[in-house]
């Protein structure tokens, strides 16, 4: 319940102490009634907002527990989902096949500020290596034999949203290096184009294997990409 102090013995020190201890406001007698009424309205609105947020949190917990489970370990996973969903960092989800990496990626996207944007799922395990670059970054007309028209890549299609790159361990180091550049510079180069394409995409990668990131970055630098 919000607390409003109304007193004839007001001083700055007491007011500051009251606010620090959780009072919503501190009003000195005789009050200006228009201000008092406005303060009451705002206090009620704040209380209602807190209740709505609490109800949303309960609904969120219930829905994810219904989807993922309610064990102590899963509750820790749900808490991590909440933490990363509120940020805009790129991240990687690790786990064996069938453990729900895609489901978790969807949950993160739906709870993030990008929820109204597209969610593009790219499965690297089913994509021929020769098509990876053109599918991810797109290409210009005439970029290679058979490129009869310009085509958007998955990154451009995910602009304003999230792209999930599944089975990322199947990528060549060359392509991983290009994705690293996309993460750092927020832009891509479609095949056959010399002009960069600005993109606003959150990257979520999913992998089965534990990745030695230091070794990976060292090898990428060796490729000079």
pLDDT at 163 over 80: yes
Q: Is 13 in a helix, a strand, or coil?
A: helix
pLDDT beyond 80 at 211:
no
Q: What residues contact residue 103 under an 8 Å CB cut-off, 6+ apart? A: 67, 68
For the beta carbon of residue 95, count every other beta carbon within 10 angstroms.
12
Q: Distance between CA 147 and CA 200 in Å, rounded?
A: 26
| pLDDT exceeds 70 at position 219 | no
- Cα separation of the two ends of the chain: 59
pLDDT at res. 165: 92
Predicted pLDDT of residue 209: 60
What number is the average pLDDT over the span 114-133? 88
The mean pLDDT value for 185-200 works out to 87
Cα separation, 207 vs 4, in Å, equals: 53
Confidence (pLDDT) at 183: 82
* Ranges of CATH 3.40.50.300 domains, the chain: 88-222
Q: Which range among 29-38, 69-78, 119-128 shows the weakest confidence by mean pLDDT?
A: 69-78
Indicate whether 23 pLDDT > 70.
Answer: yes
Average pLDDT on 191-215 reads 81
Give the domain 88-222 fold.
Answer: Rossmann fold (3.40.50)
Q: Please give the mean pLDDT across all residues of the chain.
A: 83
Tokens linked to 1: 């319940």
Torsion 34-38-44-48 (CA) sign: positive
How confident is the model at residue 161, as a pLDDT? 94
Pairing outcome for strands 162-166 and 119-123: parallel
- The average pLDDT across 137-155 equals 87
Across residues 170-185, what is the average pLDDT? Answer: 83
| Angle, CA 112 vertex, CA 110 and CA 116 arms, to 5° | 60
Cα–Cα distance measured from residue 109 to residue 84, given in angstroms and rounded to the nearest whole number: 10
């Amino acid at each position: 319940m919000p607390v409003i102090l109304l007193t004839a013995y007001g001083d700055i020190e007491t007011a500051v102490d009251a606010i620090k201890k959780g009072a919503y406001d501190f009003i000195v007698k005789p009050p200006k009634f228009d201000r008092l009424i406005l303060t009451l309205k705002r206090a009620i609105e704040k209380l209602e907002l807190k209740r709505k947020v609490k109800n949303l949190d309960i609904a969120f917990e219930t829905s994810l527990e219904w989807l993922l489970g309610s064990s102590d370990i899963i509750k820790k996973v749900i808490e991590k989902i909440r933490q990363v969903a509120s940020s805009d960092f790129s991240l990687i989800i690790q786990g064996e096949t069938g453990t729900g990496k895609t489901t978790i990626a969807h949950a993160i996207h739906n709870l993030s500020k990008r929820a109204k944007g597209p969610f593009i799922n790219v499965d690297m395990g089913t994509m021929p290596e020769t098509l990876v670059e053109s599918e991810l970054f797109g290409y210009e007309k005439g970029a290679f034999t058979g490129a009869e028209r310009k085509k958007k890549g998955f990154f451009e299609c995910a602009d304003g949203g999230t792209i999930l790159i599944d089975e990322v361990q199947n990528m060549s180091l060359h392509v991983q290096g290009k994705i690293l550049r996309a993460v750092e510079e927020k832009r891509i180069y479609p095949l056959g184009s010399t002009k960069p394409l600005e993109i606003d995409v959150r990257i979520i990668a999913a992998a089965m294997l534990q990745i030695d990131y230091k070794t990976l970055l060292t090898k990428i630098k060796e490729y000079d990409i």
